A and B are shown apart, each in its own frame.
Chain A
Amino acid sequence: MTEIKILKNILDENRHRADDNRQVFNKHGILALNFIASPGAGKTTLLEKTIFGLKDRLNFAVIEGDITGDYDARRLAALGIPVVQINTEGGCHLDAGMVHRAYQDFRLDKVDILAVENVGNLVCPAEFDLGEAFKVVVLSVPEGDDKPAKYPLIFSEAGAVIFSKIDLLKAVNFGLDKARADVRRINREAPIFELSAATGQGMGEWLEWLSGKVESMKGDEAG
């Protein structure tokens, strides 16, 4: 019997594909975002309102990840933007290869923001880089203020954190201060937005920040 050294990351292949995607997005000046949240946290509604609020200024494309069905893709296509639906057929996350296949359908030169709605799940998507510029982690207040402490990995990886459905704050007794402090304990930089896609409360700040991100990315390119 012989022992051989391997020293290889099991997720290397996904990582390489993600790096390839990232290069493509950079080349075309696309800000790619990976939206991650539990099922029903309000990802699609937030995307609808975000696109509605910025589509006069910015061009969007969306990749919808769902286990099955195209409900969300149809909701977004109604806004007149290009949408591709990926069905994972039971898979709990999108991977970089799926995203690569999906964006072949877009005219990338015409895209400023590529929003990817990942499969509803706070655990598995943390492990699979898609090539995004950053992850947007959405926590809806009815899920409880203990979620950042219970799912630290995904919150530590977030480039932006959104507490959504803030209109329900009183009804569900969500401790904003606790949740904010717990996010900060594990993520020093990510801005935290508190908003309601339903009432529009807090949406302005998020939209400004997001369009600022696109501008600074395009600025970097020019400079």
Chain B
Amino acid sequence: MHELAITQSLIKIALAKAEEAGALRIKKINLQIGRLTGYVPEAVEMNFRMMTPGTRAEGAELDIQWVPVRCRCRECGTEYRSEELDLTCPQCGVLSGQIIDGREMFIDSMEIDN
């Protein structure tokens, strides 16, 4: 269900930016979504189709670029990918990682017709 909240904000931001830019139509919205988020593409897509008819976002494509989970070690500064979230630094072997990527839910850019 929280796809509903996410889709609502996404549409709100996209429409505001489209208006600012004087766009007639939004063709494509490029998203950056972290692997750690609970973002479910199918659900957002479905909500988006339901909520955009009659707006400048009607028919827009949602393109997702998935951002992998990355950590940085607080001890030695090593940055590493963490498939299953694990803060253990591969270099030091201690629990020293801080999550630096993987939580994003960004609108990166939009393609518009004007």
A binding-site residues for B, Cβ under 8 Å: 1-14, 90-93, 95, 123-124, 126-128, 149, 152-153, 156, 184-188
Residue of A nearest to B26 (CB): A4
Out of A3, A91, A149, name the residue touching B84 (CB < 8 Å): A149
User: CB within 8 Å of A: which residues of B?
Assistant: 1-2, 4-6, 9-10, 12-14, 17, 21, 23, 27, 31, 36-38, 84-88, 95-96, 99, 103-114
Whether the pair A186, B109 counts as a contact (CB closer than 8 A) is no
Asked if A13 contacts B38 (CB within 8 A), the reply is no
> Which residues of chain A have C-beta atoms less than 8 A from B37's C-beta?
127, 153
- CB pairs A–B below 8 angstroms (20 shown): A1-B113, A2-B23, A2-B114, A4-B17, A4-B109, A5-B109, A6-B13, A6-B107, A10-B9, A10-B105, A12-B13, A90-B1, A91-B1, A91-B2, A92-B1, A92-B2, A95-B5, A123-B38, A124-B2, A156-B87
- Is A7 a contact of B107 with CB atoms below 8 Å? yes
Cβ–Cβ < 8 Å partners of B21 in chain A: 2, 4
Additional pairs, 12, CB under 8 Å, beyond known A4-B109, A4-B112? A1-B27, A1-B112, A5-B109, A6-B17, A9-B104, A9-B105, A10-B106, A12-B9, A91-B1, A123-B38, A185-B88, A188-B96
Contacts of A4 in B (CB 8 A): 17, 21, 23, 109-110, 112
Across chains A and B, the number of contacting residue pairs, with CB separation under 8 Å, is 102
Q: Tell me the dominant secondary structure on chain A's binding face.
A: mixed
**Cross-chain contact B108 with A153 (CB below 8 angstroms):** no
A contact residues around B31 at 8 Å (CB)? 10
A185 to B88, CA, bound (A): 7
Q: Is the CB of B9 within 8 A of A11?
A: yes
CB distance from B34 to the nearest CB of A (A): 10
User: Within 8 Å CB of A153, what residues of B?
Assistant: 36-38, 85, 103
Looking at the assembled complex, report how far the CB atom of A17 sits from the nearest CB atom of chain B, in whole angstroms: 12
- Are B110 and A10 in touch, CB under 8 angstroms? no
- Chain A proximity of B58: nearest CB distance (Å): 16
